[in-house]
Amino acid sequence: AQSVTQPDIHITVSEGASLELRCNYSYGATPYLFWYVQSPGQGLQLLLKYFSGDTLVQGIKGFEAEFKRSQSSFNLRKPSVHWSDAAEYFCAVGPYSGGYQKVTFGTGTKLQVIP
């Protein structure tokens, strides 16, 4: 069965510091990987997605993620965090097509940004 592990439940970083959120997945075929962000009181918004090509993928809001097949990881990074990045971040894995009914979401990492 497919699964996603986000080992950090909470992370606190200082504004301006770099950020890395971890995501490990288990998937029996070529995975389609996503990072979504949920701001307080809001729905989820797609940051970036990856299926093939360059293993470093750029997303919105200055985020990037690196796919490492050998480590089954898809970690999210940002060089300099802004206070507005405080939110909960979800990694997800699924097939390339066929709808989101086959996509598994991780349990999320809540990011706190301190001045």
Partner 1 sequence: NAGVTQTPKFQVLKTGQSMTLQCAQDMNHNSMYWYRQDPGMGLRLIYYSASEGTTDKGEVPNGYNVSRLNKREFSLRLESAAPSQTSVYFCASSDILRGSGNTEAFFGQGTRLTVV
Among 9, 17, 56, 114, binds partner 1 (CB under 8 A): 9
Burial letters 70-99, b for 16+ CB under 10 A, else e: eeebbbbebeebeeebbbbbbbbbbbeeee
Residue 74 binds partner 1, judged by CB under 8 A:
no
Give Cβ neighbours of residue 3 (< 8 Å, ≥ 6 apart): 25, 26, 93, 104
Nearer to partner 1 (CB atom), residue 80 or residue 112: 112
Residue 51 binds partner 1, judged by CB under 8 A:
yes
CB of 72 to partner 1, least distance (A): 18
Residue 98 binds partner 1, judged by CB under 8 A:
yes
Nearer to partner 1 (CB atom), residue 21 or residue 108: 108
The size of the interface with partner 1 (CB under 8 A), counted in residues, is 25
Tell me if 34 sits within 8 A of 46, measured CB to CB.
yes
Residue 46 binds partner 1, judged by CB under 8 A:
yes
Residue 44 binds partner 1, judged by CB under 8 A:
yes
